[in-house]
């Protein structure tokens, strides 16, 4: 008999099923509800249905419930709240139950669908941006090579000192533009380059050398604390150095206006993760900027000082290595950038 099956069907459903009376009190909830929200069944049955709804969506759900009471079917998105305060985005179908003064709510958890959608959108955006940037960078490369090449030829030929100084400015400007173009190309070309077993400390020392001039110029004291027993990671050493260079030159740029500071760089390993931390004593990152610093083209620097691609490039590189990069900063007390790279447990010869 189908009626025998109903309780089993309701208990097996992936969606939450709720029956609500005209006062908005829950008269039935299947077991999905406590599973998803964490509320005990006693806390739900007999209580108002609206307490399950996230505050921000309360008004929407109330309006929809009024419409259902007038006999209309409704389908809409709203978030439920969990006992721990977190929100669950849901798709809710609500309708009057035929022949009864009760209303049926079928609620589907959209958490996974939403996160997939966001990931897809992000991937599409990155791909489109990558193509755009690669195209523009290629177009810029040719004229830039000509400017640089001919300015250098003229430099060899010109005897006049003023002219030499002007040419020097052109060459320096063109070189800076070339570096930006190279950054843009590196950003666009986040494909998977060749990887091998890499000693992270080695790449850090390489970067210390790369940016030593900038460190001196900004009066920054470098304090390396490198764990000599780090396991190797599977990585592209060139890309890792690019990440370290970027993070450290940002720190130098942040501390330069205050006349210098300290930059502590540590490497450690915990379980199957190698962690690299860069802590500076600069002005830190305002809360309002925290969520945006990894966005392409977000910069607080003046024209010619930054294009806002550094951190976005760094994050792309670290994520393509299966790792994570994030920032921590309590305004005014410096900034810390943390990179974690997976280091698979060492395999034995037999394996
Ligand atoms: P750019 O350096 O070209 O501005 P990035 O993507 O490297 O681009 O950095 C984005 C922004 O993040 C910077 O403009 C700056 O506001 C902020 N930022 C990065 N590193 C630091 C730091 N160590 N201290 C304070 N702010 C920082």
Name the CATH architecture for the domain at 196-350: 2-Layer Sandwich (3.30)
How many Å lie between the centroid of ligand 1 and the Cα of residue 245? 13
- Pick among 1.20.140.10, 3.30.450.20, 3.40.50.2000, 3.30.1320.10: CATH of 2-109: 3.30.450.20
How many Å lie between the centroid of ligand 1 and the Cα of residue 306? 8
Residue 280 Cα: closest atom of ligand 1: 23
Q: Where are the domains of the chain?
A: 2-109, 114-187, 196-350
Any atom of ligand 1 within 6 Å of the Cβ of 179: no
Q: What is the pLDDT of residues 277-326, one digit of tens each?
A: 999 999 999 999 998 999 888 899 887 677 788 898 888 889 889 999 99
State the average pLDDT for the chain: 89
CA 190/CA 192 separation, integer angstroms: 7
Q: How many other C-beta atoms can be found within 10 angstroms of the C-beta atom of residue 120?
A: 10
Q: What is the pLDDT of residues 117-159, one digit of tens each?
A: 877 777 777 777 777 888 888 888 889 999 999 999 999 998 8
Length of the chain: 351
Decide: 165 and 188 in contact? Cβ < 8 Å. Answer: no
Domain 114-187 is in which class? mainly alpha
C-alpha torsion 261→267→268→269, nearest 10: 150
CA 170/CA 227 separation, integer angstroms: 44
Q: Name which residue sits closest to atom 23 of ligand 1, judged by CA.
A: 251
Asked whether the predicted pLDDT for residue 97 surpasses 90, the reply is yes
Residue 306 Cα: closest atom of ligand 1: 3
More confident call, 238 vs 224 = 224
């Amino acid at each position: 008999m189908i009626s025998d099956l109903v309780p089993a069907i309701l208990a097996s459903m992936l969606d939450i099923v709720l029956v609500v009376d005209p006062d908005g009190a829950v008269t039935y909830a299947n077991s999905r509800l406590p599973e998803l929200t964490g509320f005990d069944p006693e806390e739900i049955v007999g209580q108002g249905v609206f307490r399950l709804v996230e505050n921000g969506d309360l008004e929407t759900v109330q309006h929809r419930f009024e419409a259902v009471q007038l006999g209309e079917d409704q389908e809409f998105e709203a978030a439920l709240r969990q006992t721990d305060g977190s929100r669950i985005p849901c798709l809710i179908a609500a309708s009057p139950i035929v022949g009864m003064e009760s209303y049926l709510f079928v609620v589907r958890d959209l958490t996974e669908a939403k996160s997939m959608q966001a990931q897809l959108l992000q991937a599409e955006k990155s791909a489109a941006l990558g193509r755009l940037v690669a195209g523009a960078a290629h177009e810029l490369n040719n004229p830039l090579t000509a400017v640089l090449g001919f300015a250098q030829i003229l430099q060899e030929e010109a005897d006049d000192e003023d002219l030499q100084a002007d040419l020097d400015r052109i060459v320096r400007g063109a070189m800076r533009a070339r570096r930006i173009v190279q950054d843009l190309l590196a950003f666009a070309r986040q494909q998977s380059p060749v990887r091998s077993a890499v000693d992270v400390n080695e790449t850090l020392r390489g970067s210390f050398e790369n940016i030593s001039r900038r460190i001196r110029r900004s009066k920054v004291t470098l304090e390396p604390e490198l764990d000599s027993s780090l396991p190797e990671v599977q990585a592209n050493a060139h890309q890792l150095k690019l990440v370290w260079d970027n993070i450290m030159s940002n720190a130098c740029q942040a501390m330069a206006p205050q006349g210098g500071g300290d930059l502590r760089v540590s490497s450690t390993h915990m379980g199957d993760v190698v962690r690299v931390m860069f802590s500076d004593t600069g002005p830190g990152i305002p809360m309002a900027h925290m969520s945006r610093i990894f966005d392409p083209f977000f910069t607080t620097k003046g024209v010619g000082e930054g294009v806002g691609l550094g951190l976005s490039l760094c994050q792309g590189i670290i994520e393509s290595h299966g790792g994570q990069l994030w920032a921590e900063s309590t305004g005014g007390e410096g900034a810390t950038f943390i990179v974690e790279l997976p280091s698979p447990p060492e395999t034995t010869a037999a394996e």
